[in-house]
Structure 1
Amino acid sequence: MKTKRIFFSMAFLLIVPAFLMSQTEKTDLGMIYKIKQEGIRNSQIEELSFWMTDFVGPRLTGSTGGNRANEWAKKKMEELGFQNVRIEEARDFSRGGWDNLKTYAAMTAPYYANFACNPVAWTGSTNGLIKGEIVLLDVKAEADLEKYKGKINGKIVLMPSTSTYEVSYEPLASRYTDEQLKQLSMAAQQGGRRPPMGDMATFIAQMALRNKISEFIKAEGAAVILNGSGAFNVPRSGGARFTAGNPEPVPEVSLPVEAHGRMERLIKHGIPVEMEIEILNKFLESPKIYNVIGEIPGTDKLLKNEVVLIGAHYDSWHGGTGAADNASGCIVMMESLRILKSLEVAPRRTIRIALWGGEEQGLNGSRGYVDRYLVDPKTREHKPDFDKFAAYFNMDNGTGKYRGIYLQENDMVRPIFEEWLKPFADMGVTTISIRNTGGTDHQSFDAVGLPGFQFIQDEIEYDRGYHSVMDTWERLIMADLRHNAIVTASFAYNAAMRDAKLPGKPVLKSSVNAPQRQTPVPAMN
């Protein structure tokens, strides 16, 4: 009996604080109503979408287009009445600047076929228009390179296929089902079976062979390299690992698998294939990575220096106009702050917007912000603004509408977000997931113990279009972006008005003196 009493007493102590928090969390329904009305009736989503995609164009980190986009965003923030607007240095960028000025590729024999193509960023230019027979580099082991020694100087080199197209019977675009959202709301199983060590060994071996091939091609003086990347005749975007000041890499072009595979099959059947290619790229002086920042200052004499931060990465790849990845997030964040500014809100805390640079190369903009304001990158000591940081909300999963929010394992905010989401239940925003989600800028804040969150979004057709030449205005769903802006404005307002900052995750004793881990983040979003 005594054991039962102790058990129920402990359960009571655990449950009651969360219950009381949910009962005492205040939500200004009158303001939520105003946010909804402003976001629906006076939306500027369509206009922002045009200017941030069609007008500014691609925004590759360090490119002329990226700088132009930053200047436009600064001017727009000022027009909207945001304060303390600035283009702010975040980090050095070792790759340097790079612009693509011309790309043309066509097969000329055994017949003519003009190919969609996309140059690999931070690779070099051809010497004008080059013409010639293609050499298929069929290499399965380092020893295979010997047979090509002295045979690819000045040649167009076709890399072997690394994947094959498989028909998918899934719809091209999708939204979360109720069952999928239910599963997402459940904690992920821990301690699953590790992937076989052989898989990792194979991957390491493949990367080592790829590096050997790259070194060989460069040493042998190939004229241009052709890769297969992208399906549905849509080439994807990517970048070379380059350091500014080094010799320019061999020109490299990505072709969709349909064009690449066609030529590979012809050559393997003994049929000579010829092409003509012209690539003109320009390397620029090594630039900095910049963020574009604006805000609505806080008004409470005790809380005005605390910051609620909303943001999205502004950089893109160079093939399309970076619409879904991630102009969509920037459009939503700009519209969210516009809504609050138009309503003449007087937030207790400062609400700040940040459009991050250099996310695709490793969260550079947001990490630079953390280094500048929050945590010393060398000593890991907290800076004065660390204790003034209230919350960060991020969007970087394409154009799809919000369906909820990831907690990043921060159960302390669950009862708060449950209350904040109630006014949006009829809009389908109900799911709270305890799980972590990665690959984007909220991780920069979560990694140092600050409350940073990414919204759950319908996927739509994100995987099909991102990082490709088809990531353009057409990938945007205006109704979904309006929906997202309303929810973001509400979350930012709630975080700025509550008495206390959002709670961070408690520091575990074992990690108090542990060095801060800066895990490289794959460029996926």
Structure 2
Amino acid sequence: MWQEGMNRSQTMALSQVLFDSIGPRLTNSDRYNAGQDWLVKTYGAWGISARKERWGTWSSWKRGPTHLDLIAPRVRSLEAMMLAWSPGTEGRDIEGDVVLLPDARTPEDFSGAAGALRGKFVLISPPNPSCRMPAQWTEFGQPGAATRIDSLRAKWDTSYSMRMDAGGNRYVWPKQAGVAGVISTYWSRYPGIDKVFGSAKQQVPTVDVTCEDYNLLFRLAEQHQGPRLRLNATADFLGEQPVANVIAEIKGSTSPNEYIVLSAHYDSWDGGSGATDNGTGTITMLEALRILKKFYPNPRRTIIVGHWGGEEQGLNGSRAFVEDHPEVVKGVYAGWNQDNGTGRVVNMGPGPFVAATDRLISYLLEMPSDITGWIKISGVSAPAGGGTDNASFQCAQAPVYGLGALGWDYSWTTWHTNRDTYDKVVPEDLKNNATLVAMLTYLADKDPSPLSHQAADTVTSSQGQRVAVRFNCPKAVRSTAASSR
């Protein structure tokens, strides 16, 4: 397995197809469905059974080009991207003046000012006083400079929070006011990097503009210098359509009703290519099962890979699987979930499961130190929260463990950003993780210890207090209409 995973790895070839050719995988978009078909076909070529398993319905949306130009008082093409599920401009150019969000403190004040917004592009985000990294102000700024920037940012954040509160539902008032479009920014603390989200509740063209260009628009509007925009954005709404997970499986030979679960969400936001969130997790599990099929094709226990959909909308795919397959949940022997970037795994934890610590340590001791030398094992803790898909299993008392990756500045550079692309993948770390998961799965399958879901009654909180362990599984949201997001 070591030789196959580290010297004959297919991780980067698989990544190139998924991230470059298929691209981002917004839940139930055309690219999401194309990627799922590719996963099923890829597994099939390796002789592995895989299927698309429906868990609900979701709004199907297809992204087209976004072009946003400043046309007055000068001409400049802006770095901009329509948010996910935004309406487009129906194949035509829309022009309009740029205005600030009304400086209102009450709904009545906002309503009175909204009439002036008709046909305008409204800037709904606070400006950033600087698009330089905060660390540069700390390192290079004169005394007090970083504090000045922080103070200005806090001032604008507070002001715009109050304005947005006065406006009420951010998806309703733009339509009622008849705005040409909504312009926002979600700066990620690095030049040119924005987080790009979206909601099916948007009713007017909604566009993210990077920090530098957004600030330009803000200054021009604030100084009454006549900024005017032209937008052409294409989006196709394909209706509420069935939405699925991809489940791959190697059936167990002697204990088929016990399961080892390889878990990673497959969906992504679509500002970039979804490479490190969570394409690398997807590739880790895909490659791990390829290695296992080649060198361990007849496991004792059933091995399942769950490529979950709808994670970004609330872990919906994995939660639905847990609800729909109580027999799998009951029989989970062990599992691994990876969803925090391209870095090599450096920590693991047993969650609330009291028997897991010794098992995990014993598995790592069987592996080459080239892989395990990075890894620390944390202590027994409360069940995972709602951040990623092992939470869907742990809340049901099924021992699927989180694999924590080395950061590589994930939170600011790639997580949900317009720069989450193939070139951010760290090849050495990705093949390390796939090999690790293959070996963990092999060792868990060979483990003669009986299945155990025994959990601690109490754990130590972050405040140092002993608190009771509670298990509570939120229900999967199985349609766009039922979602609050």
- TM tier, smaller: 0.7 to 0.9
2:192 corresponds to: 233
Matched, 1:440 2:384: no
Match of 1:283 among 237, 244, 266: 237
* CA distances 1:1-23 after superposition (whole Å, capped 9, x unpaired): xxxxxxxxxxxxxxxxxxxxxxx
Match of 1:454 among 390, 399, 402: 402
Letter in 2 for 1:263: L
5+ residue gaps, structure 2, are 137-157, 459-466, 478-482
Q: Measure, in 1, the Cα distance between the counterparts of 2:127 and 2:440.
A: 44
Query: Partner of 1:99: helix, strand, or coil?
Result: strand
1:412 corresponds to: 355
**What are the residue-to-residue correspondences of 1:191-270 with 2, within 5 Å?**
208-209=165-166, 211-212=168-169, 214-231=171-188, 232-242=191-201, 249-270=203-224
1:371 corresponds to: 323
5+ residue gaps, structure 1, are 1-34, 171-200, 243-247, 375-383
Residues 345-354 or 146-155, more deviating: 146-155
Matched, 1:387 2:324: no
Instruction: Say whether the 8 Å CA contact 2:264–2:281 is kept in structure 1.
Output: yes
Match of 1:492 among 436, 441, 445: 441
Query: Partner of 1:304: helix, strand, or coil?
Result: strand
Cα distance change, pair 214–338 in 1 and its aligned pair in 2 (3 A): closer
* CA distances 1:290-346 after superposition (whole Å, capped 9, x unpaired): 11111222111xx12211110211111122111001110011111111111111442
Cα distance change, pair 395–259 in 1 and its aligned pair in 2 (3 A): same
Instruction: Say whether the 8 Å CA contact 1:391–1:501 is kept in structure 2.
Output: no
Query: Partner of 1:282: helix, strand, or coil?
Result: strand
Instruction: Say whether the 8 Å CA contact 1:451–1:502 is kept in structure 2.
Output: no
Q: Which consecutive aligned stretches of 4+ in structure 1 deviate over 6 angstroms post-superposition?
A: 201-207, 509-512
Matched, 1:431 2:394: no
Query: TM-score scaled to structure 2, two decimals?
Result: 0.84
Q: Measure, in 2, the Cα distance between the counterparts of 1:202 and 1:261.
A: 16
Match of 2:51 among 81, 86, 96: 86
2:78 corresponds to: 115
Instruction: Say whether the 8 Å CA contact 2:251–2:303 is kept in structure 1.
Output: yes
Cα distance change, pair 339–210 in 1 and its aligned pair in 2 (3 A): farther
1:319 corresponds to: 271
What is the deviation of 1:206? 7.5
**Would you tell me which structure has more strand in proportion to its own residues?**
2
Residues 148-157 or 390-399, more deviating: 148-157
What is the deviation of 1:451? 0.5
Query: Partner of 1:506: helix, strand, or coil?
Result: coil
Letter in 1 for 2:419: M
What is the deviation of 1:483? 0.5
* CA distances 1:469-521 after superposition (whole Å, capped 9, x unpaired): 21110110111011001110111112222123553243759999x99441899
What is the deviation of 1:455? 0.6
Q: Measure, in 1, the Cα distance between the counterparts of 2:269 and 2:415.
A: 9
Q: Measure, in 2, the Cα distance between the counterparts of 1:298 and 1:284.
A: 40
Cα distance change, pair 204–153 in 1 and its aligned pair in 2 (3 A): closer
**What are the residue-to-residue correspondences of 1:165-180 with 2, within 5 Å?**
165=131, 167-169=133-135
The alignment of Structure 1 onto Structure 2 pairs a total of residues equal to 438
* CA distances 1:69-95 after superposition (whole Å, capped 9, x unpaired): 100100001111213x111112333xx
Query: Partner of 1:490: helix, strand, or coil?
Result: helix
What is the deviation of 1:234? 3.2
Query: TM-score scaled to structure 1, two decimals?
Result: 0.77
What is the deviation of 1:147? 4.8
Cα distance change, pair 215–487 in 1 and its aligned pair in 2 (3 A): same
Match of 1:273 among 204, 227, 233: 227
* CA distances 1:269-293 after superposition (whole Å, capped 9, x unpaired): 2211111111121111212321111
Q: Measure, in 2, the Cα distance between the counterparts of 1:114 and 1:505.
A: 59
Instruction: Say whether the 8 Å CA contact 1:116–1:235 is kept in structure 2.
Output: no
**What are the residue-to-residue correspondences of 1:150-169 with 2, within 5 Å?**
150-161=115-126, 164=129, 165=131, 167-169=133-135
Cα distance change, pair 506–461 in 1 and its aligned pair in 2 (3 A): closer
Larger radius of gyration: 1
Matched, 1:148 2:113: yes
Letter in 1 for 2:266: Y
Matched, 1:52 2:18: yes
Cα distance change, pair 91–74 in 1 and its aligned pair in 2 (3 A): same
What is the deviation of 1:46? 1.5
Instruction: Say whether the 8 Å CA contact 1:363–1:444 is kept in structure 2.
Output: yes
Residues 118-127 or 311-320, more deviating: 118-127
Letter in 2 for 1:149: A
CA RMSD of aligned residues (A): 2.8
Q: Measure, in 2, the Cα distance between the counterparts of 1:63 and 1:212.
A: 25
Instruction: Say whether the 8 Å CA contact 1:122–1:249 is kept in structure 2.
Output: no
1:308 corresponds to: 260
1:349 corresponds to: 301
Match of 1:466 among 389, 392, 415: 415
What is the deviation of 1:390? 1.5
Letter in 2 for 1:225: V
Cα distance change, pair 132–441 in 1 and its aligned pair in 2 (3 A): same
Letter in 2 for 1:503: S
What is the deviation of 1:352? 1.3
Q: Measure, in 1, the Cα distance between the counterparts of 2:429 and 2:170.
A: 45
What is the deviation of 1:440? 0.5
What is the deviation of 1:202? 11
1:191 corresponds to: none
Q: Kindly, what percent of the aligned residue pairs are identical?
A: 30
